[in-house]
Amino acid sequence: MAQQEEIVLWIDRRWKDAIEKHLRDDTLREHLENVLDELCNQLPEQEYKRISAEIYAEDAARRAEEEAARTYAAYHVTERGQEWYFKTSPGEELLIACKKLRGYVTAEKGTAPDLFIKMFADGRPITAEEYNALTVVRMENTGKVRGVFDVNFDKREFSAVHIMDGWRTWAMRDVSPSVYHATRSRFASADEQLSKLLELLDGKEITSAGHLSARNFSFSDEIMMEEDGKLNFYVDADFDVDAVFGTFVLTDKNDDWLNIYANYDIAQGKPCDTLELTLCKGDGSEESWSYPLNAAEQEVLLRKMEAFCQQQTGMSLREYAQQLCEEQAQTSEMQM
């Protein structure tokens, strides 16, 4: 690390005041610092470069060590038709984020900020892209990102990224009393309080647009090879598709149904960033559109694709894709 050494000079204040009168714009301290800089600049060039490089490397190592120890949480907040992305450090985990939410929604008028984001005095604005990047790190479970949250006051929903399941979403009306009961005991540790919170929220998850989780991805039918070099998966519509996609099929008032397809890009080795949807209406007409997947949704989708492929074929996605490509190549050669 940097080898700092303090140099102390003692001087009668009368000498100091007199000298500074003649220095004009500089204090004596500033002047002496400039003298030291000049002495450093007069060193032989090779020696100056060597010492400068050592100091720079030590400083870079110190900053890297500090960054490695730093943790983050990422937030997307929607309130009164506006939205914000920001991160905090050190990062909050689920329990703390829920406590902040409860403190905000239950505060008496005039005792809390007028916006939830003002509960985070040290929050630093980030872009949507940075938010997605932090979501990826959260899913990797490195400990660097301790929480990723989507807090939507307009929909009254609270969502958090779980390292195994992806998104988990609850109604705010369920989160607030649950965190109250989970933290009532002054003798319970933070881990015990978190465990109690999850116990109280168990079974209260809701399905929400932009927050598909592992429980929403199940497949049926064969994995098909598309002409554009993608593997096609048929996603079972056995969840609240109306809440996610804005359809109206979970009703006996029409004969509509929804087909959902997820594609795996063989060349890139990951799921495509959209689901392909086809609404088949009772009158025989069809309507197609795409649903964009965020980072957490793509990650849990990839895991479910891998598991389904292994179950159906005994191979990984990459192995199965390679086999299909080889079979297609052989078929093409035979037709020539």
Q: Round to the nearest angstrom and report the end-to-end CA distance of the chain.
A: 68
Q: Is residue 183 predicted with pLDDT exceeding 90?
A: yes
**pLDDT per position as a tens digit, 21-39:** 888 788 999 999 999 999 9
What is the 3 state secondary structure string of the chain?
CCCCCCCCCCCCHHHHHHHHHHHCCCCHHHHHHHHHHHHHHCCCHHHHHHHHHHHHHHHHHHHHHHHHHCCEEEEEEEECCEEEEEEECCCCCHHHHHHHHHHHHCCCCCCCCCCHHHHCCCCEECCHHHHHHHHHHHHHCCCCEEEEEEEECCCCEEEEEECCCEEEEEEHHHHHHHHHHHCCCCCCCHHHHHHHHHHHHCCCCCCCCCCCEHHHCCEEEEEEECCCCEEEEEECCCCCHHHHHCCCCCCCCCCCEEEEEEEEECCCCEEEEEEEEEEECCCCCEEEEEEECCHHHHHHHHHHHHHHHHHHHCCCHHHHHHHHHHHHHHHHHHHC
- Say whether pLDDT at 2 is over 80: no
pLDDT, average across residues 94-98: 97
Q: Is the pLDDT of residue 177 over 90?
A: yes
Give the pLDDT of residue 186.
84
Q: Model confidence at 229, in pLDDT bands (50, 70, 90)? A: confident
Alpha-carbon distance of 257 to 286, in angstroms, equals 10
Query: What is the overall mean pLDDT for the chain?
Result: 92
pLDDT score recorded for residue 309: 96
pLDDT tier, 334 (very low <50, low <70, confident <90, very high otherwise): low
pLDDT-wise least confident of 215-229, 258-272, 285-299: 215-229
- Residue 324: its pLDDT value, please? 85
With a pLDDT cut of 70, the percent of the chain lying above it is: 97
Average the pLDDT over 1-8 and give the result: 76
Closest by alpha carbon to 296, among 153, 151, 133, 152?
133
Q: What is the pLDDT of residues 144-162, one digit of tens each?
A: 999 999 999 999 999 999 9
What is the model's pTM? 0.80
pLDDT tens column, 266-286: 989 999 999 999 999 888 899
Residue ranges per domain, the chain?
13-69, 72-201, 214-335
Of 255, 252, 244, which is closest to residue 289 (Cα–Cα)?
A: 244
- In 3D, which of 272, 254, 250 has the Cα closest to residue 263? 272
**pLDDT confidence of residue 26:** 85
| Tokens at 302, concatenated | 């990839």
